[in-house]
């Protein structure tokens, strides 16, 4: 007789599609997000194939423009923004705080359906010919000149935004009201702090992009001229509205990954985090300051130089909390008891690549330098270092770390280490040459390019091939592990945290008895020896 857990408690499609269990909803998200990840990856593959040669000879310019647009739209809105919060956040936050579910389970399910609906709109746009405005939808091209399915794509983004808003709302209320007895704010796992900060951004920022894309759709459909220069409209106003959300959005993408890294680094050093409150407050600082820097995307468009200076200054300031975190994570490993299991390999990769990605952002924050680098491959390399080298490494690391808890199975560690290595090598080979190409002047979104950039592009495409293998492998062995993997105990890693005190996989109500928390999370050493360096 098998113990009842959330997976076998209720069978049949209806019990999954109408579930209120946050763990099942997390798996629904996992399936759909994985689909969109590979769709976005397919578009990336097409881009890199075209860029093997300087001439635009694999596809027409219009098709290429659609490839990079849809790569961006799918990856940003349908993969990166939901990924860690909707999969790992949904699954773990109630368990980490000793609750039975999120505050609003039905809204949680609704958020998944909204995500799917938005995804269907975007898929429709893709399948009926694509959209070619760039994921940034800049006007007046998107409202007046583009000859593609802008409205459908814009509506897809609009709809999916509500999924993000509802997730953030759910997390905020959950963390405020559903903590177990004794679980004060400063005993919360840093994963929860990270998601709380992320949720603040989700609820404050997403509505602005919602109204912005709605206005783009309205302008295109009804010929209202809000951003149309011929009617006195201002195309740069669109940029301000767009980036007011889309800059904080990048912090939605990275903060959860930072939360994952905090957890992994502690677990695989068997040591509690160095500088807990500094990391917790840094998450909040990033969320707040992140709302004040959007103008650094507009330095070259003729924004007032004094406004530019303020944005530049704040863009440098927002890097400091991230730097604090990197130093704290590194200090956590010092005098730890370190094991290089695959989650830790991903965390290490994150530490190096996020550092490079974050520091290259500073290049772009320096106004005089941004003039040269804006809209070149340097920018492309910078944000891929953060979003792929940072956020996706965090996502994969977290998936590996919590896979035994989620599925009750162990994955093959040898293959996982190999895949992590492929990802790290492939990633660097793909994106480092793009820094060089960018400084040399290669603009982004170019279908064809001058010959002198070819070597760098070939290297990049080669790297992308290696990287894609690194991404496919986990799909394969994770699936395999579900059916044939070794069964996992409650705590396969010897880690601390409420999630490791309940069976793998957990029962539907998470805990048989509501836990009562008496001390801070993640204390490994006996409390007698607590000391300050």
Partner 1 sequence: MFTNFPFFPEQASAQAAQVDGIYFFMVAITAFFSLLIAALVVLFAIKYRRRHKDEVGAAIHGSLALELLWTVIPFMITMVMFAWGVKVFYEMYRPPAGAMEVYVVGKQWMWKAQHMDGLREINELHVPIGRPVKLIMGSEDVLHSFYIPAFRVKADVIPGRYNVLWFTATKPGRYHLFCAEYCGTNHSGMIGWVYAMEPTEFQAWLGGGTASDTPAAAGEKLFQSQGCVACHRQGAALQGPLLTSVFGSTVTLQSGATVVADEAYIRESIVNPQAKIVAGFQPIMPTFQGLVTEEQLLQLIAYVKSLSTPGGSGGHGAAPPPGKN
Partner 2 sequence: MSKGRAQADEYYPGPVHQPPVHIAGTHVEHTHGHHPKLQHHFDTMAQQIEASTLGMWVFLVTEIMFFGGLFMCYLVYRTASPEGFAEASHHLNVTWGAVNTIVLIVSSLTMALGVRAAQTSAPPKTQVAWIVATMALGAAFLGVKAIEYTDKFTHHLVPGPYFKWEGKHPAAAEMFYSLYFCMTGLHALHMVIGLGIMMVIGIMAWRRQFDADYYTPVEVSGLYWHFVDIVWIFLFPLLYLIGGHFTE
**Residue 26 C-beta: closest distance to partner 1, Å:** 30
CA-atom Rg of the chain in angstroms: 23
Q: Which of 2, 529 has the CB closer to partner 1?
A: 529
Best CA proximity match to 444, nearest among 425, 457, 463: 457
Alpha-carbon gap, residue 268 to 490, rounded angstroms: 16
Residues engaged in binding partner 2 (CB under 8 A):
1-4, 8-9, 99-105, 107, 165, 169-170, 172-173, 176-186, 203-208, 210-212, 215, 218, 222-226, 231-234, 237, 240-241, 244, 507-509, 512-514, 516, 518-519
Tracing tokens 């005089």 back to the chain, one arrives at 368
Using CB under 8 A, pick the residue from 204, 366, 462, 490 that binds partner 1.
366
Do residues 279 and 368 touch, judged by C-beta distance below 8 A? Answer: no
By CB under 8 A, is residue 479 in contact with partner 1? Answer: no
By CB under 8 A, is residue 223 in contact with partner 1? Answer: no
- In terms of phi and psi (left: phi > 0; alpha: psi -120 to 50; beta: otherwise), the region of 495 is beta
Q: Which of 207, 492 has the CB closer to partner 2?
A: 207
Q: What length is written for the chain? A: 533
Give Cβ neighbours of residue 478 (< 8 Å, ≥ 6 apart). Answer: 399, 403, 411
Q: Which of 193, 276 has the CB closer to partner 1?
A: 276
**Residue 143 C-beta: closest distance to partner 2, Å:** 12
Q: Which of 180, 301 has the CB closer to partner 2?
A: 180
Alpha-carbon gap, residue 398 to 506, rounded angstroms: 17
Give the footprint of partner 1 on residues 128-157 (CB under 8 A). 132-134, 138, 140-141, 144-146
Alpha-carbon gap, residue 147 to 266, rounded angstroms: 51
526 binds, among partner 2, partner 1, none (CB under 5 to 8 A by kind): partner 1
Q: Which of 20, 417 has the CB closer to partner 2?
A: 20
**Residue 147 C-beta: closest distance to partner 2, Å:** 19
The kind and range of the H/E element at 286 are helix 276-289
Q: What are phi and psi of 435, to 5 degrees?
A: -60, -45
Question: Is residue 433 classed exposed, middle or buried when 0-12, 13-18 and 19+ CB atoms within 10 A define those classes?
Answer: buried
Q: Which of 15, 337 has the CB closer to partner 1?
A: 337
Q: Which of 479, 525 has the CB closer to partner 1?
A: 525
Using CB under 8 A, pick the residue from 207, 443, 492, 507 that binds partner 1.
443
By CB under 8 A, is residue 65 in contact with partner 1? Answer: yes
Give Cβ neighbours of residue 296 (< 8 Å, ≥ 6 apart). Answer: 247, 308, 311, 312, 315, 364, 365, 370
By CB under 8 A, is residue 14 in contact with partner 1? Answer: no
By CB under 8 A, is residue 274 in contact with partner 1? Answer: yes
């Amino acid at each position: 007789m098998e113990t009842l857990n959330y997976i076998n408690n209720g069978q049949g499609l209806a019990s999954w599609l109408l579930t209120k269990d946050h763990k099942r909803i997390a798996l629904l998200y996992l399936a759909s997000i994985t689909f969109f990840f590979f769709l976005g990856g397919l578009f990336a593959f097409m881009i890199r194939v075209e860029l093997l040669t300087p001439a635009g000879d694999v596809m027409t310019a219009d098709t290429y423009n659609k490839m990079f647009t849809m790569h961006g739209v799918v990856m940003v809105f349908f993969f990166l923004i939901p990924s860690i919060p909707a999969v790992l956040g949904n699954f773990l936050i109630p368990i980490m705080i000793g609750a039975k579910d999120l505050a609003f389970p039905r809204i949680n399910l609704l958020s998944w359906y909204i995500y799917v609906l938005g995804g269907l709109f975007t898929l429709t746009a893709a399948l009926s010919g694509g959209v070619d405005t760039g994921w940034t939808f800049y006007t007046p091209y998107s409202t007046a000149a583009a000859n593609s399915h802008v409205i459908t794509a814009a509506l897809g983004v609009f709809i999916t935004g509500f999924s993000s808003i509802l997730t953030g709302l759910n997390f905020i209320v959950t963390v405020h009201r559903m903590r177990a007895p004794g679980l004060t704010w400063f005993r919360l796992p840093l994963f929860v702090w990270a998601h709380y900060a992320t949720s603040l951004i989700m609820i404050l920022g997403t509505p602005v992009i919602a109204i912005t894309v709605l206005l783009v759709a309205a302008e295109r459909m009804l010929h209202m001229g809000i951003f149309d220069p011929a009617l006195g409209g201002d195309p740069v106003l669109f940029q301000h509205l767009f980036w007011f959300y889309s800059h904080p959005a990048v912090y939605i993408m990275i903060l959860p990954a930072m939360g994952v890294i905090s957890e992994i680094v502690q677990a695989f050093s068997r040591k509690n985090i160095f500088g807990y409150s500094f990391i917790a407050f840094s998450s909040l600082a990033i969320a707040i300051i992140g709302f004040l820097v959007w103008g650094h995307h507009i330095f070259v468009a003729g924004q007032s130089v004094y406004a530019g200076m303020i944005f530049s200054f704040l863009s440098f300031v927002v890097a400091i909390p991230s730097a604090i975190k990197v130093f704290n994570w590194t200090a956590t490993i010092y005098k730890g008891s370190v094991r290089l299991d695959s989650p830790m390999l991903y965390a290490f990769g994150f530490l190096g690549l996020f550092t490079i990605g974050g520091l290259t952002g500073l290049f772009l924050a320096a106004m005089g330098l941004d003039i040269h680098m804006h809209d070149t491959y340097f920018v492309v390399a910078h944000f891929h270092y953060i979003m792929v080298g940072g956020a996706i490494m965090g996502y994969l690391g977290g998936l590996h770390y919590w896979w035994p808890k989620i599925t009750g199975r162990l994955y093959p560690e040898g293959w996982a280490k190999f895949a992590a290595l492929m990802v790290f090598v492939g990633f660097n080979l793909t994106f480092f040459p793009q820094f060089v190409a960018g400084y040399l002047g290669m603009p982004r979104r170019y279908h064809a390019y001058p010959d002198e950039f070819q070597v760098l592009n070939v290297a990049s495409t080669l790297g992308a091939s290696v990287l894609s293998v690194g991404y496919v492998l986990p799909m394969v062995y994770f699936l395999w592990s579900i059916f044939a993997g070794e069964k996992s105990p409650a705590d396969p890693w010897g880690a601390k945290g409420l999630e490791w005190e309940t069976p793998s996989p957990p029962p539907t109500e998470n805990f048989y008895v509501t836990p009562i928390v008496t001390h801070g999370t993640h204390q490994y050493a006996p409390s007698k020896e607590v000391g300050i360096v």
